[in-house]
Amino acid sequence: MSYRELFVSAQPTITNVVQGKDPVVYTLGVPYDVTTSYRPGCRFGPNAIRDAFWKIEVYDPELDTDSEKIPVQDLGNLDPMPKPEKMVDAVQKVVSELVGESKRPALLGGEHSLTFGSFLAMPKDATLLIFDAHFDLRNELYGWKLSHGTFLRRLSEKMETGRFVHVGGRAASKEEWDFVKGRGIRHLTSREIESADFERRYKNILSDIHKVYVSVDLDILDPAFAPGVGTPEPGGISSNKLLYMLRQLKGKEIAGFDIVELDPAYDHSGITAIAAASVFSTLVSVSSLKRAT
Ligand SMILES: [Mn+2]
């Protein structure tokens, strides 16, 4: 062992080289928050998640995984590009390249608009499983056609909405609720997550899913658990419940995932970054349990 291996760590990038093993995920930061509608600052999210990852316990007794021992390669951060169309185009190209090389992307946001580019690069048989307080189904937001509040509407113009599953919704316009119901988009609201038969309903939704891209907007969590987000909404779920739902993906083929909307400027206690790092650790663990094809 060299002194470099002994004394130098990969921090703050999340890289863990395991000799003889291919990385389970390729981490890509997207420090982008130009279309943010409320509190700016989530461009600082990717590095805050990386920093927190090295501070938390990552052995998961339920999955029997230790994400510090799972090979991960960090690609760094996407270059700054203010126009949302340029950003999503670059994300789509980079993610397509990774998918073409059978490499699984793990994106750290940045605002939710990045999912538009990332999911367009996914295989056609992948389901988009979204955890979010918002539906992001507006046709336009503050003049932006492509923004963090419209990305799912833009995706719905390019593919069947049967590919979407939405979990945690509670804050949207009447038009968005009507769109969800009118298109029959499978969903569980944050109120339904608190109901007695939630586990059965959630497992029932998952039973149809084989290959999945997971998009976690941290504002699915109640602001008590995650104050450091761009657009906090009361009435959210606990981090415990979110991690439970992510662990239930064990056995699914994870095509890729993203964790978005962390805003360190409003995360004074650092708990939102820690929650994001736990989400990252859990999704890396679940990803490691089944190979992508
Ligand atoms: Mn949201």
Q: Distance from the CA of 22 to the center of ligand 1, in angstroms?
A: 33
In the chain, the N- to C-terminal Cα span, in Å, equals: 34
Ligand 1 center to residue 219 CA distance, Å? Answer: 5
Q: Is residue 220 part of a domain?
A: yes
Domain presence at residue 54: yes
CATH of the domain at 169: 3.40.800.10
* 293 within some domain: no
List Cα–Cα distances, 169 to 194, 217, 239, in angstroms.
12, 11, 15
How far apart CA 156 and CA 134 sit, in angstroms, is 15
| Ligand 1 centroid distance, CA of 285 (Å) | 24
Over its length of 293 residues, how does the chain's per-residue pLDDT go in tens digits? 788 878 877 778 888 888 899 999 999 999 999 999 899 999 999 999 999 999 999 999 999 999 989 999 999 999 999 999 999 999 999 999 999 999 999 999 999 999 999 999 999 999 999 999 999 999 999 999 999 999 999 999 999 999 999 999 999 999 999 999 999 999 999 999 999 999 999 999 999 999 999 999 999 999 999 999 999 999 999 999 999 999 999 999 999 999 999 999 999 999 999 999 999 999 999 999 986 55
CA 249 to ligand 1 centroid distance, Å: 21
Distance, CA 233 to ligand 1 centroid (Å)? 8
Q: Is residue 94 part of a domain?
A: yes
Query: Is there a contact between 50 and 108 (Cβ–Cβ < 8 Å)?
Result: yes
What pLDDT does 2 receive? 81
Determine the structural domain holding residue 141 and report its residue range: 3-288
CB 40 within 8 A of CB 259: no
Domains identified in the chain, total number: 1
Residue 293: per-residue pLDDT: 54
Residue 97 confidence (pLDDT) = 97
Measure 217 CA to ligand 1 centroid, in angstroms: 5
The residue count of the chain comes to 293
